[in-house]
Structure 1
Amino acid sequence: MVLKGETRINKYTDLNKQFVGGQWRTGTGESGIEVLNPYTQQKVTSIQAASQKDIDEAYETAKAAQKEWAEVNAFEKSRIMEKAVRIMEERREELIQVLIEDAGSTRIKANVEVDFTLAITRHSASFPMRMEGTMPPSIIPGKENHVYRKPLGVVGVIGPFNFPMYLAMRSVAPAIATGNAVVLKPDSQTPLSGGTLLGKIFEEAGVPAGIMNVVVPKISEVGDGFVEHPVPRMISFTGSTGVGRHIGEITGRMIKKTVLELGGNNPLVVLDDADIPLAIQGAAFGKFMHSGQICMAVNRIIVHKDVYDEFTKGFIELAKGLKSGDPEKEDTLIGPLINQDSVQRILGEVEKAKEEGAEVLLEGKVDGNVMTPFVLKGTNEVSTAKHEMFGPVVTIIPVDSEEEALRVANDTEYGLSGAVHAGTDSKAMAFAKKMETGMVHINDQSVNDEPLVAFGGEKSSGIGRFGGDWSLDEFTTFQWISVQNTSREYPF
């Protein structure tokens, strides 16, 4: 049980346990997992890790429960999803507090994340009503075709630490709404906001036992056991490209459906006729929101030489004034990185970029896990521009022409999100259509997500799409059943 005094999270209890088959219980793994507040470094709680035995039981329980859940009336499924939304609305402040303490979210970011989580769950409540069938015409006389949309069965969901609540719910909500059972494995750094809290929400909403399960193992103990298990027919993973490739290799070999939302090296392009103050505001938000720990965060700012000085001066001045530090405070934009390893990794990338010729325009500072903005001038070849920083570091790259801006923007293995600022929408649209990314935002910044649009990347940024009808398709399959109503003539 989460004890009062360890943390202010004390409305829901048993957040530090595994949730398997409708029961909250202690994991049977060998290790304990300490959950630390990324800002204070104080202990939030500790969890006894799940073992492979716990994972096996979660999957088998989910498989047994799913068949009955698939047959539950659509209106009842929708009612449960809508109740989950109401619970989150009523417990909003509690959810925000969990995100602050468990994930190091600022209040600004936590509010955004809760809004996203509400939106995707509310939209998913419509999915039970859309599990319809169709009757395509047949080329064969007397044949009646039926094509039914059906749940996949059991879905394994692996969530990340950066937007843990939303990026888990983005898969959990549509999967459950379409009649699947779920086993959720949150990142062990954010097991409450990305895992057990969601288990509590769905338990309170009335999802039957076994339909929503949460396990928190240590990868050092279970290895690939969560992905390799034969029960799940789909694995939904959000995280790094390296891990995503490994998961894709396993699921490809096992013929499992897979959705991968992976890393990004997202460009924000500022052309010569752009509204510079607007571009500065967008770039600052898109880079420094949640300390840059967002897959969609701006990683490179590509600026036409004619407006480079104006943009850079204004951007640095804005970056200097951004409030950093305690995520509890209402006006803090830049809170802590998730851990000290991330801080040291990023500082190492900055030092390497300097050695490669990058010029430091704004030198950030480090206090514990809090890092203030670093702004560098460089090329696509310096380390901070080649690699996803996942922190408050950005590289500004001057270019001579629109053609060069496009070449530089596309010169990366990634293709998740991006933005372009130009004097006219038509000019920006023409540029955006040539960008090799799954998403582009005109006169805005790269961090956008909405429940009704297609979210996902190209190239090494992932496979599949979330949102709207795309989520409905990802978490379901189709079955063709035909009825031969009249005698059919065969050629023998």
Structure 2
Amino acid sequence: MTATSVDLASLLPDEHRRLLVGGQWREASGAATFEVIDPADGSVLASVADASVDDARAALDAAVAAQADWAATAPRERSEILRQAFELINDRADDLALLMSLEMGKTFTEAKGEVTYGNEFFRWFSEEAVRIRGSWLQNPAGGTRLLTLKKPVGPCLFVTPWNFPLAMGTRKIGPAVAAGCTMVVKPASQTPLTMLALGAIMSEAGLPDGVLNIVPTTHDADISKALQADDRLRKVSFTGSTAVGRLLVKQSADQLQRVSMELGGNAPFLVFADADVDAAVDGAMAAKMRNIGEACTAANRFLVHADVAEEFSTKLADRMAALTVGRGQDDGVDVGPLINPDAVESVGNLVDAAVAGGARVLTGGSAPDDAGLQSGYFFSPTVLVDVPAEAEINGQEIFGPVAPIATFTEEHDAVRRANDTEYGLVAYVYTRDLGRTIRMAESLDYGMVAINSGLISNAAAPFGGVKASGFGREGGFEGIEEYLETTYVALPAG
């Protein structure tokens, strides 16, 4: 299959490649557009409206205008809209998955998995919308009653990344809709098509005009700065790099906006001597190769006990070598392209530097030789062993299909090395020792710890990190609290 063989208009009509502002699909100022590139061959996939700062302000105007009525909408009505969107997404899962595969590169099968996972946030928060609770308490000193109310924060700005074009949107839109907040969404310019398709589905599900506004743009920094300078914007939620997250947090200070930051990761994957090695290899494949390794939750550093390191490394290399690289929409393909040429160069540089420092390549190590892949942004699944502790690849988020392996002999050393990073999103641990499981959960400085599993994300669980991986939680009972303010009311006793 090639991008040209797909009827893109059937997946996303031309009118839905514009800005969604106040319920209307409109052109950007001056009819400006930008091109969305197919990472499998570098060709132009589509042209999309390119929002200006004025367009983004109009979107915020629409969100502000809709806020009061939306906050006053009955929770059950908000719930039913999310549930209807959930059903529509289920019905169109194949189309959404194909659209996502085309613009981002992941395989169709994996894209279909993202649709299922991302849609669960709509189902989860459709149920949470009717369970927003306050409290009633008698003053311990007597004489009054203490009442607390939960109210929506207000208009929000959501900045979503390119690597999970649907799920990173539903994780933010779901709780905002449930809580009664309006929003402006700025999807990544590399992958705006899926978000635009989601916007059309939300409108069809009955979401009132102005509640969800979408402004694809190449003027990311200018738009974020302008909207954050507006005192009507009350909340910012961002998923992306730590560097950009720090900037958005600084920009939030003047207006004291609420912020949620889901930032970078440098996930350690610890395999202890008592681990089930085959299960650990299965988990490593899931934790490393989900989304071609282009995920903040991807296993970034493998710390394996010396007693099982050779067995683990060999089995992992065999599994990685057996993967088929190619266009994500083609049958039999396991690994699609990276997002752009810069990503290929960055991953290649990290691998080359590690090898120059003494690491050995068990499989992969470079872009594939297949002539049919030369026009795309591909990198071969790679396993490195004997990776020096000081190698740059241990300190940076790889964002590619590369597994660097180092060994340890003592538990305390493994914990020290796992925690030796500014990041703290997720850690993976394989052990059959219950005591060690508890020690790892308590001693690893991460917002999430996966025990004997290579998958961590779940709509019913609070997703988020500590340290330079950010703050705030998406999903779980905690997720809706990010979009609610508490009002305390003192009432006379009678």
1:78, 1:477 → 2: CA distance? Answer: 19
Runs of 4+ in 1 over 4 A off after TM superposition: 3-7
Match for residue 326 of structure 1? Answer: 327
8 A contact 1:4–1:10 mirrored in 2? no
2:206, 2:31 → 1: CA distance? Answer: 32
CA shift at 1:269, angstroms? 0.4
Moved more, 453-462 or 426-435: 426-435
Match for residue 217 of structure 2? Answer: 217
1:55, 1:272 → 2: CA distance? Answer: 54
1:140, 1:19 → 2: CA distance? Answer: 53
Match for residue 89 of structure 1? Answer: 90
Please say if 1:349 is aligned against 2:357: no
Match for residue 174 of structure 1? Answer: 175
Moved more, 135-144 or 205-214: 135-144
1:118, 1:320 → 2: CA distance? Answer: 32
Match for residue 401 of structure 1? Answer: 410
Match for residue 482 of structure 1? Answer: 490
CA shift at 1:428, angstroms? 2.4
Structure 2: which amino acid aligns with 1:218? T
Match for residue 449 of structure 1? Answer: 457
Please say if 1:201 is aligned against 2:179: no
Q: Judging changes above 3 Å, is the alpha-carbon distance between structure 1 residues 363 and 323 closer, same or farther for their aligned structure 2 residues? A: closer
1:352, 1:396 → 2: CA distance? Answer: 15
Q: Judging changes above 3 Å, is the alpha-carbon distance between structure 1 residues 165 and 191 closer, same or farther for their aligned structure 2 residues? A: same
CA shift at 1:7, angstroms? 4.2
Q: Judging changes above 3 Å, is the alpha-carbon distance between structure 1 residues 318 and 46 closer, same or farther for their aligned structure 2 residues? A: same
1:28-427 alignment, distance < 5 Å: 28=29, 31-193=32-194, 195-219=195-219, 222=222, 224-366=225-367, 367=373, 368-377=376-385, 378-427=387-436
Match for residue 370 of structure 2? Answer: none
2:74, 2:255 → 1: CA distance? Answer: 32
2:37, 2:4 → 1: CA distance? Answer: 16
CA shift at 1:31, angstroms? 4.7
Q: Judging changes above 3 Å, is the alpha-carbon distance between structure 1 residues 82 and 415 closer, same or farther for their aligned structure 2 residues? A: same
8 A contact 2:348–2:365 mirrored in 1? no
2:221, 2:186 → 1: CA distance? Answer: 14
Structure 2: which amino acid aligns with 1:198? L
2:108, 2:80 → 1: CA distance? Answer: 30
1:211, 1:41 → 2: CA distance? Answer: 35
8 A contact 2:464–2:473 mirrored in 1? yes
Match for residue 490 of structure 1? Answer: none
8 A contact 1:465–1:474 mirrored in 2? yes
Moved more, 195-204 or 21-30: 21-30
Instruction: Give the number of aligned pairs.
Output: 482
1:37, 1:305 → 2: CA distance? Answer: 42
Match for residue 469 of structure 1? Answer: 477
Report the secondary structure of 1:162's partner residue.
coil
Match for residue 10 of structure 2? Answer: 10
Task: Describe the superposition over 1:52-83 as per-residue Cα deviations: whole angstroms up to 9, x where unpaired.
Answer: 11111111111111100111122211111111
8 A contact 1:380–1:386 mirrored in 2? no
8 A contact 1:350–1:383 mirrored in 2? no
Moved more, 263-272 or 43-52: 43-52
Match for residue 437 of structure 2? Answer: 428
1:71, 1:91 → 2: CA distance? Answer: 31
8 A contact 1:6–1:45 mirrored in 2? no
Structure 2: which amino acid aligns with 1:391? G
Match for residue 489 of structure 1? Answer: none
Task: Describe the superposition over 1:443-467 as per-residue Cα deviations: whole angstroms up to 9, x where unpaired.
Answer: 112x421111111011111111111
1:9, 1:294 → 2: CA distance? Answer: 29
8 A contact 1:85–1:122 mirrored in 2? yes
2:156, 2:141 → 1: CA distance? Answer: 37
CA shift at 1:427, angstroms? 2.2
1:101, 1:226 → 2: CA distance? Answer: 31
1:441, 1:185 → 2: CA distance? Answer: 31
1:9, 1:163 → 2: CA distance? Answer: 22
CA shift at 1:94, angstroms? 1.0
Using the aligned pairs only, state the percent identity: 33
CA shift at 1:30, angstroms? 7.7
Task: Describe the superposition over 1:74-121 as per-residue Cα deviations: whole angstroms up to 9, x where unpaired.
Answer: 221111111101110111111111111121121221122111122100
8 A contact 1:251–1:258 mirrored in 2? yes
CA shift at 1:9, angstroms? 4.7
TM-score normalised to structure 2 length: 0.93
Task: Describe the superposition over 1:309-342 as per-residue Cα deviations: whole angstroms up to 9, x where unpaired.
Answer: 1111111111100122121134422111011111
Which consecutive residues of structure 1, in runs of 5 or more, have no partner in the other structure?
487-492
2:254, 2:407 → 1: CA distance? Answer: 44
1:60, 1:404 → 2: CA distance? Answer: 54
8 A contact 2:90–2:116 mirrored in 1? no
8 A contact 1:31–1:218 mirrored in 2? no
Residue from 457, 468, 471 that aligns with 1:460: 468
1:83, 1:48 → 2: CA distance? Answer: 28
Match for residue 439 of structure 1? Answer: 448
CA shift at 1:268, angstroms? 0.6
TM-score normalised to structure 1 length: 0.94
8 A contact 1:170–1:466 mirrored in 2? yes
CA shift at 1:227, angstroms? 3.4
Root-mean-square deviation (CA, aligned residues, Å) is: 1.9
Task: Describe the superposition over 1:369-418 as per-residue Cα deviations: whole angstroms up to 9, x where unpaired.
Answer: 12111222213320111100000112101112222111111111111111
Report the secondary structure of 1:360's partner residue.
strand
CA shift at 1:220, angstroms? 6.4
CA shift at 1:4, angstroms? 9.5
1:485, 1:137 → 2: CA distance? Answer: 9
